[in-house]
Amino acid sequence: MPQYQQQASWRLEGGGQVIDLETAVKDGILGGGESGGGLPAGKDGSFGASAEKLDLKKMIEELDSAAEEDVPSVFICPISLEPMVDPVTLCTGQTYERVHILKWFSLGHLTCPTTMQELWDDAVTPNQTLHQLIHAWFSQRYLRLKKRSEDVQGRTAELVKTLRKVKGQARVQALKDLQKILAAHPAVKKTVADSGGVALLSSLLGPFTSHAVGSEVIAILVNLSLDSDAKANLMQPAKISLMVDMLNEGTIDTKINCTRFIEMLMEEKSFRSEVVTRLSLLVALLRLVKDKRHPNGIVAGLSLLKAICFHEQVRSLIVSIGAVPQLVELLPNLTAECLELALHILDDLSTIAGGCSALKDCAQTIPNAVRLLMRVSEACTQYALSILWAVCKLAPDECAPLAVEAGLAAKLLLVIQSGYNPELKQRAAELLKLCSLNYTTTLFISKCKLTRTIQ
């Protein structure tokens, strides 16, 4: 077959051609645009150097993931339902992706898949026109996408520059715009970091920052990835004070942002527990955790409280604000995820004297904890057991009977019989022994049997 040369007459400028591709692309349903670029067909009639095909393939892929516009149906191969990279036409006039139609033939079919006609000629003709149209269409959109993403980056850099200059309402608006762009195009995080955005945002937080500005800044910062220096800078007392204030006063979204942000800061190596040793923070978290209207807030709040509880020095402060009874009373209404967090916190608090006695003094501790054994997960059972152990050890005469009345014995037997880890089972056994001390054997067994039948 003769080499297929791209003639100037086939090219896109100039009129008087049978097909003026440029105009077709511009005026047709395919939208305006780029010239398709000429490509000489290969020896076997297939299109272009493989480099050209790869380009088209790449563009198709990227545009597919951007998923913005529907590909015109005439570009789609009826067999694979994908845009055609190498369209070939059969004698029936139908066009398919070369690879797929050849496969069809190799399976022994000599029909046109869509019209079901028997083929009188098995030749496949490369449909150059269609190929050029497809290429033009994809190139145009690909270039547009690239430009837009550059645009977005440009816009982001502009916004950061604006933020350096403006104040007041203009500042709040610029921050809102920046947040919108970041939400729509996560890739610009890098641009923000590169243009000194992080340091700028950080500097906007201080003792005289208004709530409006502060809440927007935190909403942005919480979604950026910050390096150690940035985080260390953000741990300054004045900035933390602002975050705590916003935790107290903001909308639920602001509260959750601040909570997550502080938790993020806590993961830093340079973090010192004094940063979170603040009554106002702990009180605000407790309020967040008790707010039944916003389950997201409960999870975020418990998560941060758990991280804070990890630091032993802060535990007594947490107990002093009455966290123990409030958390215990929350337990029945929590989801599984929250239960694990809450029980973990209470378990940590039980390790200090104040926490343990607060647990003992709260009437709901024992019933709630017993109820949660073997109910939710191994971790929950472990924490609940640990709490019960601490409380019963503190005041066995008072607590053991209460626990037994609540059905502890049967639950403990379940734990011992379970497939949970041996340490846990050992603990359960010990607790069972502790609780049985005040009863005669028969009475105790009856307690077990009774509660089991109740269950």
Quote the Cα angle for 389-390-396, to 5°: 75
Judge whether 371 and 412 are in contact, CB under 8 Å: no
Question: Pick from 236, 364, 377, 418: which binds other proteins (CB under 8 A)?
Answer: 236
Beta bridge partners of 96: 88
The answer to whether residue 211 forms part of the interface with other proteins (CB under 8 A) is yes
* In the complex, least distance from residue 180 CB atom to other proteins, rounded to whole angstroms: 21
CB atoms within 10 A of CB 201: 23
How close are the terminal C-alpha atoms of the chain, in Å? 86
The answer to whether residue 313 forms part of the interface with other proteins (CB under 8 A) is no
Q: Stretches 11-19, 188-196, 247-255, 444-452: which one binds other proteins (CB under 8 A)?
A: 247-255
Q: Stretches 43-51, 55-63, 238-246, 443-451: which one binds other proteins (CB under 8 A)?
A: 238-246
Question: Pick from 245, 291, 337, 378: which binds other proteins (CB under 8 A)?
Answer: 245
Q: Which amino acid is at 441?
A: T
| Mode of pairing for the β-strands spanning 87-89 and 125-126 | antiparallel
Question: Pick from 279, 363, 437, 450: which binds other proteins (CB under 8 A)?
Answer: 279
What gap in Å lies between CA 419 and CA 315, rounded to an integer? Answer: 33
Q: Stretches 145-153, 204-212, 261-269, 294-302: which one binds other proteins (CB under 8 A)?
A: 204-212
Using CB under 8 A as the criterion, what x/- string covers residues 316-345 for binding other proteins?
-----xx-----------------------
- 108 versus 207: smaller Cβ distance to other proteins: 207
- 199 versus 321: smaller Cβ distance to other proteins: 321
Helix, strand, coil distribution of the chain in percent, nearest 5: 65, 5, 30
* In the complex, least distance from residue 209 CB atom to other proteins, rounded to whole angstroms: 8
The answer to whether residue 249 forms part of the interface with other proteins (CB under 8 A) is yes
Q: Is 95 helix (H, G, I), strand (E, B) or coil?
A: strand
Taking every pair of C-alpha atoms in the chain, what is the biggest distance, in angstroms?
109
* In the complex, least distance from residue 169 CB atom to other proteins, rounded to whole angstroms: 6
Beta bridge partners of 89: 95, 125
Please give the DSSP secondary-structure letter assigned to residue 71. P
- 143 versus 321: smaller Cβ distance to other proteins: 321
Using CB under 8 A as the criterion, what x/- string covers residues 149-168 for binding other proteins?
-------------------x
- 189 versus 287: smaller Cβ distance to other proteins: 287
The answer to whether residue 311 forms part of the interface with other proteins (CB under 8 A) is no
Quote the Cα angle for 54-58-62, to 5°: 175
* In the complex, least distance from residue 210 CB atom to other proteins, rounded to whole angstroms: 6
Using CB under 8 A as the criterion, what x/- string covers residues 112-151 for binding other proteins?
----------------------------------------
What gap in Å lies between CA 97 and CA 100, rounded to an integer? Answer: 6
The answer to whether residue 452 forms part of the interface with other proteins (CB under 8 A) is no
Q: How many amino acids of this chain bind other proteins (CB under 8 A)?
A: 23
What gap in Å lies between CA 382 and CA 92, rounded to an integer? Answer: 72
Quote the Cα angle for 349-355-357, to 5°: 145
Q: Stretches 145-153, 210-218, 300-308, 438-446: which one binds other proteins (CB under 8 A)?
A: 210-218
What gap in Å lies between CA 366 and CA 371, rounded to an integer? Answer: 8
What gap in Å lies between CA 406 and CA 373, rounded to an integer? Answer: 12
Binding site for other proteins (CB under 8 A): 168-169, 207-208, 210-212, 236-238, 241, 245, 248-249, 251, 277-280, 283, 287, 321-322
